[in-house]
Amino acid sequence: MSTSPVPPASGPSISKAVPSKSSTDRAVPRQGSRWQNYVTIILVVLLALAVLVTITRNWNAWEGGKAEQVTDDAYVRGDLTPLSTKVSGIVRSVDVADYQQVHQGDLLIELQDDDYQAQVDQAKAAVEAARAGIEENLRQRQLEDTRIAKAMAGIDQAQAQIAAAEAGKDAVQAELIQARSERKRQEGLYQTHSTTEQSLEAAVASEGNLSGQFASRDADLNQAQTMLHSSELAAEAERRSKAVLESEGMQLQADLHAKQASLTSVRVNLGYTKIYAPGDGTVGERQVRPGQLVSPGTQVISFVALTKWVQGNYRETQLTNVKVGDPAELRIDEYPGQLFRGKVVEIAPASGSQFALLPPDNATGNFTKVVQRIPVKIALDDSTFAAKLRPGLSVIATVRTRR
């Protein structure tokens, strides 16, 4: 029995049919995976756009609406006063050590004051001389008052003499008129031989006598009038002299005031030779030593007052609801793990850039927006502890807003 070989065509046909079927089955999963990749990419892009829109459009509102506003851009601040000299001189003594605690009025630095003391003594002498000049002027005015009074008395006396002379003149004039009438009558009678020559001579003699008296009274009147005029001129001269003295007195008063002002000035300069602590606090490092020559404006030592506070520089987007009086929590790097409480006492009226030495001018050139920071002053509730702090310490400040 013979066997016929298997047709070779059947084997290849079967082997070709199987691969074709498997390739068709694998094509469908690849197309679905590709679409899944596109969908994932699209979802990621959409999510990124949503986050970007949220950040750019609502970030400020979200950040400003938080109940707690935190910043690590905060530091302890205090009043640092550089004490300088107002006058030049040689340092006589430095009465404090570096970083020493002092009280208000304590002597810190003293300059040699011999020159300034001599200027004070000289100014005092000038003031005394000016006062002596005023006193002399006053005595001269009093003397002029006496002279004016004397001249006024002379005027009164001359007026009295004028009155007496006028009265005497009037009396003699009346008698003279009567004597002249009597003479004329006697002359008429003598021509008619009705009187004697002796009676005529007596009438003529009486008239001559009264004429002499009238001339004497007239001379007395003229003399009294001359005396009155002289007294009036003397009184006017004394008044003018007094006016001159009064003007000099005003000038002397002004000179006294100028010398007193000069005395005050040199006394002030004398006081500047001693530098005192302006309050309770701590001094810094000494910058001068005894024997050193200093000029006006030389910084001799720094003074740090006891009052300390925290300045937090918050971003402008954080201050939406921050107000004066809001409570604050402070964490100071020098005291790790400790929490200190305070409250907002002041908020700066402008951003820190506006107080810079060279404020930015955004109206020129290209512009890049930069978030500004606003200083916020926070006072510690424990003032005793605050006095122990040192300016410049780093702080993390948290303000709890009252919305």
Question: Is residue 391 within 8 Å of residue 326, measured between CB atoms?
Answer: no
Give the pLDDT confidence score for residue 200 in this predicted structure.
Answer: 66
Strand partners, 314: 374
Sequential DSSP letters for 71-119:
EEEEEEEEEEEEEE-SS-EEEEEE---TT-EE-TT-EEEEE--HHHHHH
- Specify the amino acid at residue 65: G
- Of 124, 83, 86, the residue nearest 107 (C-alpha): 83
Give φ, ψ of 107 to 5 degrees.
Answer: -75, 125
Q: Do domains 64-112+280-400 and 115-271 have the same CATH topology?
A: no
Across 238-290, the runs of DSSP E, i.e. the strands, are 274-276, 281-283
Q: Which two tokens stand for residue 255?
A: 């000179």
Please tell me the distance from the alpha carbon of residue 141 to that of residue 135, in angstroms, as a whole number.
10
pLDDT in tens, the chain (403 residues): 334 444 444 444 434 444 444 444 444 445 556 666 677 788 888 888 877 766 666 555 556 567 889 999 999 999 999 999 999 999 999 999 999 999 999 999 999 999 999 999 999 999 999 999 999 989 988 888 888 888 888 888 888 887 777 777 777 777 767 767 777 776 676 677 766 677 767 777 776 776 777 777 777 778 888 888 888 888 888 888 888 888 888 999 999 999 999 999 999 999 999 999 999 999 999 999 999 999 999 999 999 999 999 999 999 989 988 999 999 999 999 999 999 999 999 999 999 888 888 888 888 888 888 889 999 999 999 999 999 999 999 999 999 987 5
Give φ, ψ of 302 to 5 degrees.
Answer: -105, 150
How far out from the chain centre does Cα 200 lie? 105
Pairing of β 293-294 and β 89-94: antiparallel
The CATH code of domain 115-271 reads: 1.10.287.620
Give the pLDDT confidence score for residue 216 in this predicted structure.
Answer: 74
Place of tokens 């006081």: 271
- Of 92, 120, 119, the residue nearest 107 (C-alpha): 92
Across 258-389, the runs of DSSP E, i.e. the strands, are 274-276, 281-283, 293-294, 299-315, 327-332, 340-347, 373-380
Q: Which two tokens stand for residue 212?
A: 């002499």
Contacts of 110 (CB under 8 A, 6+ apart): 91, 92, 93, 95, 273, 274, 275
What class does CATH assign to 64-112+280-400?
mainly beta
Place of tokens 């007195």: 249
385, 386, 390, 394: CA torsion to nearest 10: 100
Domain residue spans in the chain?
Answer: 11-44, 64-112+280-400, 115-271
- Of 39, 248, 49, the residue nearest 136 (C-alpha): 248
CB-count burial class (<10 Å; 0-12, 13-18, 19+) for 203: buried
Question: Is residue 83 within 8 Å of residue 106, measured between CB atoms?
Answer: no
